[in-house]
Structure 1
Amino acid sequence: MGLRVLAWGLGAPSTALLYGSLALFISILHNVFLLYYVETFVSIYKIDKVSFWVGETVFLIWNSLNDPLFGWLSDRSFLGSPRSGDPISLPVVVLKRLRALSVSGPLLALSFLAFWVAWAPPGLQFVVCLCLYDGFLTAVDLNHNALLADLAVSAGDRTQLNFYCSLFSALGSLSVFMSYSFWDKEDMASFRLFCVVLAGVAALGFSLVSRLLQQRFQKQARLQDEATALKELCVGQTPLAQDKTVTLGEYLKQLSKHRNFMWFVTMNLVQVFHCHFNSNFFPLFLEHLLSDRITAATGSFLLGISYIAPHLNNLYFLTLCRRCGVYRVIRWLFLLKLGLGVLMLLAGPDQIYLLCIFIASNRVFTEGTCKLLNLVITDLVDEDFVLHRRQQAASALLFGMVALVTKPGQTFAPLIGTWLLCVYTGYDIFQKDALQDVVPPPALPYPALASTLRQGCFYLLVLVPITCALLQLLAWSQFTLHGKRLHSIKSLRQGSQPHWPQDVKAI
């Protein structure tokens, strides 16, 4: 009753607004986690190097496997054809996702708090905290992303849902700026209290919004169940017996023959690599290319704007997607990445203002592209549904399979980047005072070595985007799920579910 009164007082917020607000609760926790968890364990808890790398290795394996595992557990009942048994109504699917969010959301907030108080030996706490947090984060992300495919089919409705996600994600990024006021390695009390407040807001938000959305679909689910029961009584038949369920091996075989899926994950693997390359080496580029040419305030501004600008920029990209289609917008962004990289390469490392613009825009546009790719995955969900005549779209499972193939890009980024830098300049980023440890040959004095390092960073900065853009344009040119084919797929999916709830279809 209280929730209904609150919803009425808020003017009955739209489904899109409520769905987007879930991104706020993810963002306020995850941005703070990314910024502080390593420094907390290294500088405060004094974790040793072996324990740190063992923990990161375990985390890498768990991080790659839990997406398809949770997706399979969530969607395996949807993999049969509509003739294989009782049809699963769309409101039931949505309710299943929302119930999972109402549980995993507060648990994510609770696991977030486990980082900021020492309660076990650092090595053990590091592994346990990372795996718990990432497990609940995966459960939240998969169900939240799957709802993007389940709540709407048309491109316009999905871009509106994504619009609200970007808006609330930008608001959630403010937690990073607020955290600077509380962060103090010498006295963590204020920061811990700040994290408790963030976790409380997130847990309450997940519970409230999930409950409000559940109320919207429970009535629709009851009406469809009653209609199905009446139909069975009139026809006088029992439901058809369940056919053989599609196994994981059969599903993987189906997916390997899904041509557009294979080209998409190839392109997305490069995109994940580039996004994390930018994040990993952004401070290095600032230090060796700009630190002696710009003020500390300008460097802080470039770093700060790189967090919030991708979300704000995405609002404009989504407007373009409504007009021109997601495929074209992503292709234009790849061409823009290529063009800016070539322009910067021709201009050289001494054009400081152009270098500042390039470093910031490279990260902003790359992150912006990442945030549009969920729309493409939802189109792949539709194509998979039509090609294999599923009972319901296996949204969470397909998102999980995309993550399985593309997440290795997170590991490749620092490995390949540091290897290229070391090969070209002899600079090892993982060693203390690495620049001083490099012994220059007699003909190469120390200033020349520093100049070589600067030149190496510059070529790394511009050649990686150029190479990524060329590979992505090649893969993207083979992707056919756009234009007439996409329109046909969406028509077939909507036609196969004639009882699509009106408040879902028309967001």
Structure 2
Amino acid sequence: MKLTSLGIRQKAFAYSMTTLGSSLINSLFSFYYVKLFLNRYRISEGMFHQAQIVFMLWNAFNDPLFGYLQDNAKVPCCAKRHLSILYGAPFYAIAFLLPWFPWRDYQEGDWLCGVQLVIALCAYDGMLTFVLLAQCALFAEISTKHENRLQLIKYNQVASLVGSSSVLFCGLISDNMENIFNFQVFALCVAMLAFGCMYYTGMNCVSQYEHVEKLEKDKMEDASNLSWTSVFYLTKQIVTQKNFLLFIVMNFFQVFHLAFLNNFMLIFADHLIPPYLLPAFVKSIMYGAGFICPQLLILSSQSLLRKLGYYKIILSVFYAELLSATVMLVLGPSHHYVLSMFLVANMVMVSATFSLFNLPLADIIDADLLNYKRSFPLSSMVFGTNALFTKPAQSLAPMLVVTILNQFDYEKLKDNFTHSEQSALQDLHGAMFYLVCLTPICIAVLQILAWTPYSIRDSHTDVAKYIES
């Protein structure tokens, strides 16, 4: 039976509650953890890099692993999407709290600080992967119609808009993490709220495939016969598709760019924008806008998505990023107000574009289902395999940037940079400015080259690719 308008809205609302919960905690985690460990816990560069390497390996490994389990396991908590969210939610919320409470009063270079960073990153990403892979699979499996998927995107962006405001309120309440006690209390409240949101999804959002006994029976029978050879064979089928390869190359650079902005926008703005021009209150609003405005942009682009499709919109944004970064580079670092607007606009464009990526991945899942005549879509495996190749960028970005900054004595200048030797400070600020401008220029060029040959461009005009039942 086809989904009614009311039905898809109910499912979209339940689906979006996990987005609300994850946005509340993901925004805070990605925005603050690097500054916390570098500036407050005073982790050494060596331990920071070691933690990022461990995180990168775990980050790449756990996504295909959980993807395989969720698509092929017999245990209901893994096999059923809504149960994966339901049972994973409390552990996801607890893992979010791990970085914000130091295990002891850290001295500079304390080895235990490195251990805490490794455990916090791995535990958090493991639970994020388990919960959000199931949610991503729901996106592809709730409906195959472009119109219904846009409805999911719409509800998703409203939820993400509300959730992303956590950075704004946290910045105001904790004075951008200067008041650590207020920050910790806020983090506890956010963790409990996020758990409640994801719990609601787990209780109320069910994939169309979980309603069909025959498909579920076929799935269980197929799972019992799967070996590691079969897993590698299925993964090979996924990664050898041209559109999937083009997508993951483009997405790798998008993840890198997003991690670059999330982890270092706070640091770059503190150094490159004088405090007498933008006081802390205004900067808090600026940081919040970087997380809130992407959702407003997506919500206002619904008609364009229906008319043009995601392919042209994503490609246009890459050209816009290239143009804006080139103009900023030509203007130079002395135009502080323009630089402030550029930092926010760049973050908005990158985040908004990333929010659309479930649409091409869902189309790739649909194409894979038809090409190989599968009895059920390998949704989690496709999302997990995508993450296998793109998630390492989350670690590479902070490692690369911290290495570059420390070549200009950032480790020595980060605490009292307003009273530091001016020549050294100017060199550091020059390096930061070139990172801010050249990073989006290089990434945009590479993404345009990768995305242009992508061939699934007309799904917004197609009817459902297979019958919804």
Q: Is this a same-fold pair by TM over 0.5? A: yes
Offset of residue 51 of structure 1: 5.2
Aligned counterpart for 2:147 among listed residues 156, 164, 175 = 156
Task: Give the C-alpha shift of residue 310 in structure 1.
Answer: 1.7
The corresponding residue for 1:427 is 408
AA aligned opposite 2:298: N
Correspondent of 2:203 among 206, 211, 217: 211
State how far apart, in whole Å, the 2-side matches of 1:114 and 1:157 are: 37
| Structure-2 residue corresponding to 1:84 | none
Question: TM-score scaled to structure 1, two decimals?
Answer: 0.76
* Distance (Å, rounded) in 2 between the aligned partners of 1:42 and 1:447: 22
- After superposition, the C-alpha distances for 1:380-402 in whole angstroms (9 at most, x for unaligned) are 11111112222211111111111
**Structure 1, unaligned runs of 5 or more:** 1-9, 79-91, 230-238, 440-445, 502-507
CA deviation digits over 1:272-322, x for unaligned, max 9? 122222233323432443226722244333223112222222212344212
Q: Quickly say closer, same or farther: Cα 1:45–1:366, change in 2 above 3 A.
A: closer
Instruction: Give RMSD over aligned pairs.
Output: 3.9
Q: Give the aligned length.
A: 448
Distance across 1 between alignment mates of 2:39 and 2:298: 35
Distance 1:134 1:338 in 2: 31
Structure 1 residues 12, 383: CA separation in 2 closer, same or farther (over 3 Å shift)? Answer: closer
Aligned equivalents of 2:343, 2:178: Cα separation in 1: 33
- Superposed counterparts of 1:63-462, under 5 Å: 63-76=59-72, 96-117=80-101, 122-180=113-171, 183=174, 191-214=183-206, 221=211, 224-225=212-213, 247-291=230-274, 294-296=277-279, 297-417=281-401, 427-432=408-413, 453-462=428-437
Structure 2 counterpart of 1:61? 57
Query: Is the contact between residue 32 and residue 175 of structure 1 (CA under 8 Å) also seen in structure 2?
Result: yes
Q: Which amino acid aligns with 1:473?
A: I
| CA shift in 2, pair 1:192/1:250, >3 Å | same
Letter of the structure 2 residue corresponding to residue 427 of structure 1:
F
Shift of 1:328: 0.8
Query: What letter corresponds to residue 454 of structure 2 in structure 1?
Result: F
Question: 1:102 offset after TM fit, Å?
Answer: 0.8
Scaled by the length of structure 2, the TM-score of the pair is 0.81
Q: Report if the CA contact (8 A) 1:330-1:369 is conserved.
A: yes
Look up the SS of the partner of 2:357 in the other structure.
helix
Cα deviation code 1:395-421 (max 9, x no counterpart): 111111111111222233234445666
- Distance in 2 separating the partners of 1:70 and 1:243: 18
* Cα distance, 1:319–1:274 mapped onto 2, change above 3 Å: same
Displacement of 1:65: 1.1
Deviations 1:440-489, CA, capped at 9 Å, x for gaps: xxxxxx766655554444333222222221211111111111127x867x
Structure 2 Cα separation of the partners of residues 340 and 254 of structure 1: 39
Give the match's secondary structure for 1:368: helix
Local SS of the residue matching 2:128: helix
User: Which residue of structure 2 lines up, in the alignment, with residue 463 of structure 1?
Assistant: 438
Which runs of no fewer than 5 residues in structure 2 stay unpaired?
A: 1-5, 105-111
Using the TM superposition, name which of 138-147 and 122-131 deviates more: 122-131
Matched residues in 1 for 2:119 and 2:301: separation?
38
Indicate conservation of the 8 Å contact 2:35/2:263, yes or no. no
C-alpha displacement of 1:150:
0.6
Query: Is 201-210 or 355-364 further displaced after alignment?
Result: 201-210
1:71, 1:398 within 8 Å by CA — same for their partners in 2?
Answer: yes
